[in-house]
Structure 1
Amino acid sequence: MAMKTLDTTDAQIAYTDEGRGDNVVLLLHGSFSADWFAPVGRRLADEGYRVLRVHRAGYGQSKDLAGGVSVQAHADHAAKVLEDAGARHAHVVGHSSGASIALQLAHARPDLVRSLTLLETAFPYAPDEPKNPAMPLAIEAAREGDYERGFDLFLGGVSGPDFRKVFIRELGENGLREAEASSRYFFTQEAPALGAWHFGPVEAAHVTAPVLLIVGGEGERLNTPHAARSAQLFSWIPQSEIQVLQGLSHALPLEDPTLIATTIKKFIDHRSQ
């Protein structure tokens, strides 16, 4: 599928525009791969939605021209994609760091967000979250210049030892290699930007759209922080709900794209009636 591109002051953003329908879905992927949502997006387009799937700055075919893009800037890029596509608003879906960007968009531009679906949101931190060693060990490996080891430590720690097989099954060998190649950008540019982002109860009060917080049930076994982070958002946003998908981990958009697409569809359809 041909990519569309738009230029901003700090980035060149590529996105796909697939499917037709009155309901527009904007997909914001997580770290490492621009294609986390590729299988989900195809399924949603087949279900009659117009799907805008963004390659965030620094990933895939998009370029970070600033040498480090803030969460606020990523959200601004998403708003510009909607404008470029002629969409007045959208049902916004984010995964991991993309979920944090979706939150920022809903805070800054509530007029653009009809509903918000957040899969295993990466930030903000929760005070009671379990301390998973995956991220500190991954950062240490990256500081030593071993980005591939950092990639393995991080995704293995939050998704389990079979995450590479999942990538290859859904995205092929090239998809896995592209994700590995993006590790340097994540550790040197995106991770610091995410760490500098603040989102608390005051910001959450500006989120007016209904919110679905999706958590992978395998996170409890893997001792990941995402359930606690989602629970914190649930306590801040009264129009939110949590759904736990058993048998899935942080890699849930690739582990079961059919279930993820179906879950998103049910939430959107209920809110569009």
Structure 2
Amino acid sequence: MPQAIRAGYSVFWQEFGTGSDPALLLHCALAHSGAWSGLAERLEGRLRMQAPDLPGHGQSADWDGRCDYHDQATDIAADFLAPGTHLIGHSLGATVALRLALNHESALRSLTLIEPVLFAGVRARNPDLYAAHQASNAPFAAAMETEDWDHAARIFTAQWGAGRPWDSLKPQQRANLTARIRIVGETSRALNEDSIGLLTPGRLESLKMPVLLIRGARSEPVIKGIHDALAARIPVVRQACISGAGHMVPLTHPDAVAAEILTFLP
């Protein structure tokens, strides 16, 4: 598998599929490019996919705090763009994908956002929902504030993971999650305050490409709020809800997600 300096960072990536159309896949926080393997297998006839490990994830270089994390992740992802790219992102990766779409629309053919965790999207539109999310997130925030990384990783995995109990994970998996949990804190301003300006008036409304929003029916309520906030402003948008799925829907329900994407792709 290839590894090279991309946007000044040592980045590992995987390649999937032999389809005619290029695609870029951006994973969620605390995951890696291999998380896309199940979905990619179902898209391989249509798409020729690249999936980088974001900074501090997988086999890419450890995160060194050299700059704003979301800026660095976006610069790396932009280095993979080719004309006519279908861009697919999940969770944190979906917020990077949306930023790329706004900054590099001419290079993209379509945008698929799977549960983008842009919490700022509901902050003004639905303050009660945002307050409820903040309340449910309080134990995690407290653990991060006191630098109790193990406890923070446990809480985060329970809330946003694939449903596996913490104690069922292998020791190395738990160690990896704990080591990387600080990266979640690095993204807080971007995701909760929109410090990256994705929600600036007129920006979402300017998108011309088709956009697909996919979420799990069992996901945190704030996710539906985010999707509704984005859909209200994006001109050409379609929403899909996967029955029985939670936040890790591209991993747990790859058949259903692939079907939605293949139906959507222009």
The answer to whether TM tops 0.5 is: yes
Q: Which runs of 5+ in 2 are unaligned?
A: none
Task: Give the alignment partner of residue 152 of structure 1, picking from 151, 154, 159.
Answer: 154
Aligned counterpart, 1:61? 59
Q: Which residue of 2 aligns with 1:253?
A: 250
Evaluate the alpha carbon distance shift between residue 5 and residue 135 of structure 1 in structure 2; reply closer, same or farther with a 3 A threshold. Answer: farther
Match of 1:106, SS state, is helix
Amino acid at match of 1:107: L
Q: Structure 1: how far apart are the matches of 2:24 and 2:7?
A: 18
SS in 1 for 2:35: coil
Counterpart mapping for 1:164-243 below 5 A: 164=165, 177-187=175-185, 189-195=186-192, 196-200=195-199, 201-219=201-219, 222=220, 224-243=221-240
Matches within 5 A, 1:94-173: 94-123=89-118, 124-126=120-122, 127-128=125-126, 129=129, 131-132=132-133, 133-158=135-160, 162-164=163-165
CA contact (8 A) 1:91 1:114 kept: yes
Structure 1 residues 210-243: Cα deviation after superposition (integer angstroms, max 9, x where no partner): 0001121113xx5x30100110100000201111
For 1:136 and 1:217, locate their aligned partners in 2 and report how far apart those are by CA, in whole Å. 23
CA–CA distance in structure 1, aligned partners of residues 92 and 188 of structure 2 = 9
CA distance in 2, matches of 1:147, 1:249: 24
SS at match of 1:36: helix
Q: Which amino acid aligns with 2:5?
A: L
For 2:145 and 2:22, the matched residues in 1 are separated by 40
Partners of 2:67 and 2:150 lie apart in 1 by: 20
Rounded to whole Å, the distance in 2 between the matches of 1:231 and 1:163 is 28
Give me the whole-angstrom Cα distance separating, in 2, the residues matched to 1:55 and 1:164. Answer: 25
Q: Letter of the aligned partner of 2:216 in structure 1?
A: G
- 1:15-30 equivalences under 5 Å are 15-30=13-28
> What is the SS of the residue equivalent to 2:212?
strand
Tell me if the contact between 1:13 and 1:55 (Cα under 8 Å) persists in the aligned partners.
yes
SS in 2 for 1:5: strand
Alpha-carbon distance between aligned partners in 2 of 1:265 and 1:173, rounded to the nearest angstrom: 37
Distance 1:113 1:147 in 2: 38
Gaps of 5+ in 1: none
Cα distance between partner residues in 2 of 1:122 and 1:29: 12
1:59–1:157 distance in 2 versus 1, CA, 3 Å: same
- The 1:259/1:173 distance shift into structure 2, 3 A limit, reads farther
Q: How many residues align?
A: 253
Root-mean-square deviation (Å) = 2.5
- Give the TM-score taking structure 1 as reference length: 0.82
- Percent identical pairs in the alignment equals 23
- TM-score, normalised to structure 2, is 0.84
